[in-house]
Amino acid sequence: MALPAVAGSEYLEENYLTVKGRFRGIWSWLLSTDHKRIGILYLICIITAFLAAVAIGFLMRLEQLNMGETIVSARTYNSFFTLHGVIMVFMFIIPGIPAVFGNFFLPIQIGAKDVFFPRINLLSWYCWVGGAVLLIVALFTGTGAPDTGWTFYAPYSTRTGTNVTLALLAAFILGFSSILTGLNFITTIHRMRAPGMGWFRMPLFVWGIYATAWIQVLATPIVGITLLMVLTERVFGVGIFDAAKGGDPVLYQHLFWIYSHPAVYIMILPGMGVISEIIPAFAKRTIFGYKAIAYSSMAIAIAGSLVWGHHMFVSGQSYLISVVFSAITFLVAIPSAIKVFNWVATLYKGSIDPQPPLLYSLTFIFLFMIGGFSGIMNGVLNVNVHIHDTYFVVSHFHYVMFGGTGLALFAAMHYWFPKMFGRIYSKKLANIALAIEFVGFNLLYFTMMIMGYRGMPRRYYDHLPQFHTDHVIATVGSWILVAGLLLMFGNLFWSIFRGKKVGMNPWGGATLEWQIPTPPPHENFEEVPYIDHDPYDFKKVKVTR
């Protein structure tokens, strides 16, 4: 390992958290261009947004506990599912892993001192905050919280009296934040890799972020312009999507999904990158099929950009195009399966150390597979007609987004926590929390899948008697899930301040972030490292708990 010898394997007192910069107090955070501090800022914001949206989801489930109006009116329920979706999608899952862990670890993993545009990096965080503030303003001003669903479908979004205009603007600004992060990462990866680090010596997390960044840059502007068009329709009376003015509302759906389907891969690819880091670190084996995993990220990015029409099988598009979209949708399963097989093959004959990050990762694989298989079912034309707009779809994308990306984010939190804060959480509590989450998750979403298959439509605040038992089970599942989440976050939060201090490489990871002190010093590396080996070479790794 041609890395500079780092003094001591103990907790580093003079680190990025304690360093004295130009600014004091809170400003040393709010005006910091250090990628690690920006990552922490994102972490705080994103977890806050997540918990807010979880609370809304919790209330939605509570509403379904009884038939008829239980706790909120139908109108409020509409606002609930809109906000739950908008916050979860635009403020949590899309920025989640890239903005938090990409910011924090991408530069370190490629041996750089920061991202290429540190100030633009900070700007992107302010864009996120700006979007969030606008969304909050939209809730409490005007004529009521938005009630369109997170998709803002025209023509309803152009006509509803609720405060959709501000919400659209918020989504647009959040998109801008995403674009800035993406172009920053691409430039960083192209220009700032340490000497010796060729493309195929990059850790797979970097590959995941790289593929994601391209989708962020290429797809986000399309949804930006689409949302702007709805905005002009609401504010100036332009009628591009208004049939009364010659427009075509279905075109809105096309433009929206041209972005929003690739956005699904913005959500999942970084998660897959995280899993590709954790599995070798806890199997103590180099990853099986490195190139296949790297290329499959790019393959998912490309194929995933050509499948948006599978959201629109019942919206009146031509039969031929539906068949084509359905076929390409099946193709996406191939690179996804390549990844899963490679992860499992990596574990084979490895010396497996079942620490919490690995357990979260294995849970990810299990839940993501259920999400993936149900996704294939959604992509089958005739099945899709049957389950369109039912709980089956809702369950499917919760398995993919929450069971997939969400669990990957939790796995990343548990994996990198000791490096970020220099302390370790209670592993026992982390495992218990995971078990509770797993039970609650499946009770909630698998029940929803069955309900959906039997015909329970999504986005209704009420249900028919034959679904009542299922709804009760799902709601109880949601309580268990929330309990698990609270335990998990509580454990982590407490450990930031009170956890046991750890050394630089508690897991025995082989990538660069584990070869620098814990927590990382302000400039990451004392001298620029030279890379002369593959990323998952565990032969010379020294474990320092």
Partner 1 sequence: MNQTANVTSEMHHSDEIGAKLGMWLFLFTELLLFGGMFILYAIYRASHSHEFFLAASELDTFIGTINTLALLTSSLTVALSIEALRRGNRKLSITMLIVTILLGIIFMINKYFEWSAKIHHGIYPGGEVLLRMSDGEMLFFNLYYVMTGLHGLHVLVGIVVLSAMLLFITRGNQSSAIKLENSGLYWHLVDIIWIFLFPLFYLIS
Contact by Cβ (8 Å): 417, 506? no
Among 44, 74, 225, 323, binds partner 1 (CB under 8 A): 225
User: Does the footprint of partner 1 cover residue 184 (CB under 8 A)?
Assistant: yes
In this structure, the number of other CB atoms found within 10 A of the CB of residue 319 comes to 9
How many residues bind partner 1, per CB under 8 A? 50
Say whether residue 237 binds partner 1 (CB under 8 A). yes
Lookup: tokens for 83: 């906000």
Please tell me whether residue 507 adopts helix, strand or coil conformation: coil
Question: Any contact of residue 262 with partner 1 (CB under 8 A)?
Answer: no
Which is closer to partner 1, CB of 240 or CB of 400?
Answer: 240
CA–CA distance, 515 with 110 (Å, rounded to integer)? 12
Q: Judged by CB under 8 A, does residue 118 bind partner 1?
A: yes
Q: What is the dihedral of CA 239, 241, 242, 246, to 10 degrees?
A: 80
Would you count residue 108 as binding partner 1 (CB under 8 A)? Answer: no
Q: Which stretch binds partner 1 (CB under 8 A): 63-71, 229-237, 304-312, 354-362?
A: 229-237
Residue 254 CB, nearest approach to partner 1 (Å):
8
The CA angle 16-202-186, to the nearest 5 degrees, is 75
Instruction: For the CB of residue 35, give the shortest distance to partner 1 in the complex, in Å.
Output: 9
Of 123-131, 140-148, 217-225, 532-540: span binding partner 1 (CB under 8 A): 217-225
By CB under 8 A, name the one of 221, 249, 289, 455 that touches partner 1.
Answer: 221
What's the token pair of residue 167? 């919400």
Binding of residue 542 to partner 1 (CB under 8 A): no
303 binds partner 1 (CB under 8 A): no
Q: Which are the contacts of 533, defined by CB distance < 8 A and separation ≥ 6?
A: 1, 201
User: Using the rule CB under 8 A, is 245 a contact of partner 1?
Assistant: yes
281, containing H or E segment? helix 249-283
| Residue 85 contacts partner 1 per CB under 8 A | no
Encoded tokens for 496:
């930031």
What whole-number distance in Å separates Cα of residue 510 and Cα of residue 1?
10
Hey, which bits of 53-200 come out as E strands? none
Choosing from 167, 217, 338, 492, the residue that interacts with partner 1 (CB under 8 A) is 217
- In the complex with partner 1, the residue whose CB is nearer, 216 or 478, is 216
Nearer to partner 1, 32 or 346 (CB): 32
With binding defined as CB under 8 A, does residue 130 bind partner 1? no
Q: Give me the numbers of helices (H) and strands (E) for the chain, helices first please.
A: 18, 2
Among 44, 55, 67, 228, binds partner 1 (CB under 8 A): 228
* Residue 528 found at the interface with partner 1 (CB under 8 A): no
Q: Interface with partner 1 includes 305 (CB under 8 A)?
A: no
| Interface with partner 1, residue 94, by CB under 8 A | no
Q: Is 400 in the site for partner 1 (CB under 8 A)?
A: no
**Closest among 412, 327, 318 to 361, alpha carbons compared:** 412
Compare residues 175 and 372 and give the one whose CB is closer to partner 1. 175
Chain center to CA of 329? 21
| DSSP H stretches of helix in 422-467 | 427-453
Q: Considering only CA atoms, which of 251, 267, 252, 254 is closest in space to residue 92?
A: 267
In this structure, what is the dihedral angle of CA atoms 133, 139, 141, 147, given to the nearest 10 degrees? 130
Exactly one of 117, 330, 460, 530 binds partner 1 (CB under 8 A); that residue is 117
Question: Between residues 183 and 444, which has the closer beta carbon with respect to partner 1?
Answer: 183
In three-state secondary structure terms, 499 is coil
Binding part of the chain for partner 1, among 54-62, 87-95, 245-253, 368-376 by CB under 8 A, reads: 245-253
Amino acid letter at 504? M
Would you say 191 or 498 has its CB closer to partner 1? 191
Place of tokens 């990343």: 412
CA pair distance 142, 163, nearest whole angstrom: 6
Q: How far apart are CA 312 and CA 376, in angstroms?
A: 15
Establish if 186 lies at the interface with partner 1 (CB under 8 A).
yes
Scanning 131-139, 250-258, 305-313, 351-359 for contacts with partner 1 by CB under 8 A, the matching segment is 250-258
- Tell me the two tokens of residue 178: 């995403």
321 in contact with partner 1 (CB under 8 A): no
Per the CB < 8 A criterion, the answer to whether 358 and 279 are in contact is yes
Which listed residue (94, 174, 183, 267) binds partner 1 by CB under 8 A? 183
What is the DSSP-derived secondary structure letter of residue 500?
A: E
Under rule CB under 8 A, residue 192 binds partner 1: yes
Token output for 185 = 């990462």
Minimum gap (Å) between residue 216 Cβ and partner 1: 9
Residue 238 is a binding residue for partner 1 (CB under 8 A): yes
Torsion-angle region of 182 (φ positive above 0: left; ψ -120 to 50: alpha; else: beta): alpha
- The footprint of partner 1 on residues 431-490 (CB under 8 A) is none
Q: Which range, of 31-39, 409-417, 429-437, 535-543, touches partner 1 by CB under 8 A?
A: 31-39
Q: Report the interface residues with partner 1, using CB under 8 A.
A: 19, 21-23, 28, 31-34, 113-114, 116-118, 120, 179, 182-184, 186-187, 190-192, 217-222, 224-226, 228-229, 232, 236-240, 245-248, 251, 255, 258, 522-523
